């Protein structure tokens, strides 16, 4: 049993065969909990290393945002020797995670079933657009496509406008989060039974699961909801308004007490006794008139002035922050959610940190994401026990590529 003062997953080794976003986001979550993550890349490196618009040295900021705390091994999986190396690595790891198209790993000679037959305790997690079976199994998937096909995009956008994708790549990120949760569950089960498992994560499944109560409403009533816009379907005072300075703020006055307090703060006490707005249902029925009156009142103060007033009187509210406001927000700064990373070769990057805080369990110190092949020789030596001559032969043959350290 590991000492109590070590990270939660310090005894777990993960072979990361993923690239771009869903898989690397998942493995970064696990590495933030202390897991050893060996990132296997092809000779061209993870696709995300080359994504515009911003770079630190040769690597995209996109890549740097989701690959901290990992070690990079570059292997040519088009060679039998490369496949054999990765197979050996899989058998000394606790978890293998991949996000190739279904069937690709098996065609390469990295079958989950075959590896688990040799090592029953191995946990294999596949992340794909539509899952390992079904009519869409082989259909190419990207975040935008999954957002659209899941129905979530039909709910997003102005009520009288066109469908809009979420501003964050929620289909990729959610798949990574569901995968992380499933892997932790499989590790817990393995601790009891000694057996691993094969996990099948579909981006589309994850997005449909996140329809949550909207799907339940439809399944119950048969109604097809439209775009939600900036408002709530039933609660008028749960929505967005513009302040004097042009900054948008959101209000969540969901009870009668909050409604009355909001009216008083806005200088609209007459609305409380207005027969059009006496109940939540009436306020919803007469939504258009009420929104116009509330919006006019909100133009009397700046967003920050309104937030201070609403907060101090118990009316839930927040500013629709632009990213510059988020990064300078006192709560975000207090929680340490923006971290500075520095590499040994002098590169620096500012990225978003780990949102999981434990009371007793320590978290590893965030490490700068590795350059492609930065740890190739170290992994082969430390994990597989290869000697210097064996490693050099693999490098000379082009089976393994390494970033030579200065």
- Let me know if 172 is a catalytic residue: yes
Determine contact, residues 350/339, Cβ cutoff 8 Å: yes
Euclidean distance between CA atoms 62 and 307, whole angstroms: 33
Strands 400-401 and 95-98: unpaired
User: Which of 16, 172, 205, 354 is an active site residue?
Assistant: 172
Backbone angles phi, psi at 342, to 5 degrees: -135, 135
CB burial class (10 A; 0-12, 13-18, 19+) of residue 167? exposed
**C-alpha neighbours within 13 Å on the C-beta side of residue 308:** 5
**C-alpha neighbours within 13 Å on the C-beta side of residue 318:** 9
Backbone angles phi, psi at 48, to 5 degrees: -70, -15
Both tokens assigned to 8: 């939660």
Euclidean distance between CA atoms 237 and 240, whole angstroms: 9
* Residues labelled as active-site residues: 172
């Amino acid at each position: 049993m590991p000492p109590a003062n070590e990270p939660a997953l310090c005894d777990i080794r993960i072979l990361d065969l993923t690239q771009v976003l869903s898989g690397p986001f998942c493995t970064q979550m696990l590495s933030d909990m202390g897991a050893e993550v060996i990132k296997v890349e092809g000779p061209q490196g993870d696709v995300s290393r080359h994504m515009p618009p911003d770079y630190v040295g040769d690597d995209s900021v996109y890549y740097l945002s989701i690959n901290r705390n990992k070690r990079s091994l570059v292997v040519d999986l088009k060679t039998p020797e490369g496949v054999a190396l990765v197979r050996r690595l899989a058998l000394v790891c606790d978890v293998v995670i991949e996000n190739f198209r279904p069937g690709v790993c098996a065609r390469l000679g990295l079958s989950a079933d075959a590896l688990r037959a040799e090592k029953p305790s191995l946990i294999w997690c596949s992340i794909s657009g539509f899952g390992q079976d079904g009519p869409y199994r082989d259909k190419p998937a990207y975040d935008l496509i999954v957002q659209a096909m899941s129905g979530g995009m039909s709910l997003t956008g102005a009520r009288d406008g066109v469908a809009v994708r979420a501003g964050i790549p929620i289909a990729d990120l959610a798949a990574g989060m569901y995968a992380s949760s499933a892997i932790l569950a499989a590790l817990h089960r393995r601790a009891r039974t000694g057996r691993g498992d094969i996990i099948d994560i579909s981006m589309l499944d994850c997005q449909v699961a996140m329809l949550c109560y909207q799907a339940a409403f439809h399944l119950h009533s048969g109604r097809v909801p439209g775009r939600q816009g900036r408002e709530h379907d039933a609660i008028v005072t749960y929505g967005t308004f513009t302040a004097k300075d042009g900054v948008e703020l959101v209000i969540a006055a969901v009870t009668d007490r909050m409604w009355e307090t909001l009216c008083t703060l806005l200088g609209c006490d007459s609305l409380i006794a207005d027969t059009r707005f006496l109940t939540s249902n009436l306020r919803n029925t007469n939504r258009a008139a009420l929104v116009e009156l509330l919006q006019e009142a909100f133009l009397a103060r700046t967003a920050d002035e309104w937030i201070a007033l609403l907060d101090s009187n118990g009316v839930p509210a927040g500013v629709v922050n632009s990213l510059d406001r988020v990064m300078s927000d006192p709560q975000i700064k207090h929680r340490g959610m923006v971290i500075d990373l520095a590499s040994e070769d002098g590169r620096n990057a500012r990225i978003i940190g780990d949102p999981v805080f434990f009371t007793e369990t320590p978290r590893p110190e965030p490490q700068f994401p590795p350059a492609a092949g930065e740890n190739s020789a170290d992994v082969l030596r430390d994990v597989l026990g290869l000697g210097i001559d064996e490693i050099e032969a693999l490098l000379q043959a082009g089976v393994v590529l390494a970033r030579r350290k200065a």
